[in-house]
Amino acid sequence: MVPTRYIRPDKDQCPTISNGGSFHQIPVVDMQCLFSSAVEVSDLELQKLHSACKEWDAITYENNCQRLINHGVSSSLVEKLKSEVQDFFNLPMAEKNKYGQEPGDVEGYGQAFVKSEEQKLDWADMLYMITQPEDLRKPHLFPKLPLPLRGLQEYSIELKSLALKILNLIAKVLGMKHEEIEVLLEEGMLLEEGLQSMRLTYYPPCPQPELVTGLCHHSDPVSLTMLLQIKENDAWVPVLPLPNAFIVKVGDILEVRIRINIRLYCELPH
């Protein structure tokens, strides 16, 4: 039986579109083509990036995301980290609780923003923390993680570099001026002295999955997010994975900045 605290009311439930259902395919953007020396190739891929951010659902503006391939992040690094994350969540509860959230803080192991004993919980195991810059890391978290998980250091650097490239490409396709790009990056907290955070999430098997939600739909106060599942027309859309591909979506900060400029991209609940 599922504990009552994890059971969501019907109004909180959201159907999932089956893989065989009729839904738009998430666009695939090739990073190598974006940086191709052949102008016609790079221009074509830039337009695909532009469309992926604004037109996948042009009526509701809900699904501005893309599958990014040939992004330059080592597949062996990604697979190694996935294995290490799984090992972390397989640790005994007492070990995981060593990295638990401190009172009033959202960083650490556990569910964030829990304000009462009656509050509904997500059916998920989570570890959230700031990963960049290093001087903002909590001393009881990142520096003391199990040795394998410290591979997050290399991964976080790679992802930050990738995010900066994507933001600059989006700014380019929008025809933004250099000063506007700088403001976008500052607001996106992705400069050298800026902020990057990661949430590692494991969804354990559930005896009654129709009663629970792995992670409530939400949007992120960031520029870019990389995820595995999205929402379209009030239904969750399973993302068909491509080998070594990232799902990239527009975050709140990028949405606000772009809407101020040309009222074009809108952030996606996920």
pLDDT at 61: 36
> Which of 30-44, 160-174, 184-198 comes out lowest in average pLDDT?
184-198
pLDDT of residue 206: 92
β-pairing verdict for 65-69 and 108-109: unpaired
Tell me what percent of the residues of the chain surpass a pLDDT of 90.
22
For residues 220 and 244, the answer to whether their CB atoms sit within 8 Å is no
- Could you count the other beta carbons within 10 Å of the beta carbon of residue 5? 10
- What percent of the chain is predicted at pLDDT more than 70? 67
Our measurement of the distance from residue 149's CA atom to the centroid of its chain's CA atoms, rounded to an integer in Å, reads 19
Q: Which DSSP helix (H) or strand (E) runs through 182?
A: helix 178-187
- Can you tell me the distance from the alpha carbon of 232 to that of 237, in angstroms, rounded to the nearest whole number? 7
Q: What angle do CA 32, 258, 171 make, to 5 degrees?
A: 30
Side chain identity, residue 106: V
What residue has token string 């891929």? 45
Q: Among the listed ranges 56-70, 101-115, 132-146, which one has the minimum average pLDDT value? A: 56-70
Distance CA 112, CA 46 (A): 37
> Encoding tokens for residue 40?
């016609």
Instruction: Please enumerate, as own/partner, the contacts of 113-118 that have beta carbons within 8 Å and a separation of 24 or more.
Output: 118/5
Give the three-class secondary structure for 75. Answer: helix
pLDDT digits (tens, 9 = 90+) for 194-204: 578 888 989 89
- Non-local CB neighbours of 59 within 8 Å, separated by 6+ positions: none
Amino acid making up residue 206: C
CATH topology of domain 25-261: Jelly Rolls (2.60.120)
pLDDT bucket at 230, cuts 50 / 70 / 90: very low
Q: Across 37-46, 107-116, 183-192, which has the greatest mean pLDDT?
A: 37-46
Q: Which two tokens stand for residue 245?
A: 């591909």
Domain ranges of the chain: 25-261
Burial class (CB in 10 A: 0-12, 13-18, 19+), 25: exposed
Instruction: Check residue 229 and give its pLDDT.
Output: 46
Q: Which of 48-52, 65-69, 173-177 has the lowest mean pLDDT?
A: 173-177
| In contact, 216 and 186? CB cutoff 8 Å | no
Mean local confidence (pLDDT), 181-204: 69
According to the model, what pLDDT value does residue 8 have?
A: 84
Q: Which of 128, 254, 72, 73 is closest to 180 using CA atoms?
A: 254
The residue-averaged pLDDT of 127-135 equals 89
